[in-house]
Structure 1
Amino acid sequence: MIPDNNKALDLLNCYVKEQSNLDHNLIVGYGMLGIAKYLEKDETEQNYWFVAGVLHDIDIEEYGDCIEKHCIIGEEILRKEGLSKNLIDDIKSHNDVLNIERNSEIRYALWAVDALSGIIRAYVLMRPDKDVKKAELKSIKKKIKDKSFAQNVSREQIKSCEENLKMTLDDFVDSVLKEVKENISFN
Structure 2
Amino acid sequence: MSLPMTRDEAWTLFCEWTESESLRRHVLAVEACMRAYARKFGEDEERWGMVGMLHDLDYERYPDLHTGHPRYALAELERLGFPEDMVRAVASHADYLEVSRDTPMEKTLFAVDELSGFVMACAYVRPQGIAGMTPKSVKKKMKTPAFAAAVDREGMREGAENLGIDFDEHLTFVIAALEPHAEELGLSGTPAAG
**Which TM-score bucket, shorter chain as reference?**
0.7 to 0.9
Looking at structure 2, the residues matched to 162 and 176 of structure 1 have their Cα atoms a distance apart, in angstroms, of 11
Counterpart residue number, 2:12: 10
Aligned ranges for residues 1-150 of structure 1 at < 5 Å? 2=3, 3-38=5-40, 40-42=41-43, 45-64=44-63, 66-68=64-66, 69-128=68-127, 131-150=129-148
Deviation at 1:4, TM superposition (A): 4.0
Q: What is the one-letter code of the residue matched to 1:180? A: L
- Contact kept, 8 Å, 2:111 with 2:160, in 1: the verdict is no
Higher helix fraction (1 or 2): 1
- Contact kept, 8 Å, 1:52 with 1:87, in 2: the verdict is yes
Deviation at 1:146, TM superposition (A): 3.2
Looking at structure 1, the residues matched to 176 and 29 of structure 2 have their Cα atoms a distance apart, in angstroms, of 11
Aligned residues: 182
Instruction: State the structure with bigger RCO (CA 8 A, min sep 6), 1 or 2.
Output: 1
Looking at structure 2, the residues matched to 37 and 173 of structure 1 have their Cα atoms a distance apart, in angstroms, of 17
- Give a deviation string over 1:118-166, Cα, whole Å, max 9, x none: 312221222346x334533332232234333212211221112443111
Q: 2:167 aligns with which of 155, 163, 169?
A: 169
Identity %: 27
Query: After alignment, is 167-176 or 141-150 more displaced?
Result: 141-150
- Contact kept, 8 Å, 2:111 with 2:163, in 1: the verdict is no
- Contact kept, 8 Å, 2:51 with 2:90, in 1: the verdict is yes
Structure 2 CA distance for partners of 1:133 and 1:76, relative to 1, 3 Å:
farther
Query: After alignment, is 45-54 or 80-89 more displaced?
Result: 80-89
- Contact kept, 8 Å, 2:34 with 2:112, in 1: the verdict is yes
SS at structure 2 position matched to 1:146: coil
- Contact kept, 8 Å, 1:119 with 1:143, in 2: the verdict is no
Structure 2 CA distance for partners of 1:128 and 1:109, relative to 1, 3 Å:
same
Deviation at 1:76, TM superposition (A): 2.3
**TM-score, structure 2 length as denominator?**
0.82
Q: How large is the Cα RMSD of the aligned pairs?
A: 2.1
SS at structure 2 position matched to 1:82: coil
- Contact kept, 8 Å, 1:75 with 1:88, in 2: the verdict is yes
- Give a deviation string over 1:5-64, Cα, whole Å, max 9, x none: 3333232223222101101111111112222233x324xx22221111111001111113
The answer to whether 1:151 aligns with 2:149 is yes
Query: After alignment, is 1-10 or 85-94 more displaced?
Result: 1-10
* Unaligned residue ranges in structure 1 (runs of 5+): none
Looking at structure 2, the residues matched to 62 and 5 of structure 1 have their Cα atoms a distance apart, in angstroms, of 22
Deviation at 1:92, TM superposition (A): 1.0
Structure 2 CA distance for partners of 1:63 and 1:24, relative to 1, 3 Å:
same
Deviation at 1:112, TM superposition (A): 1.9
**TM-score, structure 1 length as denominator?**
0.85
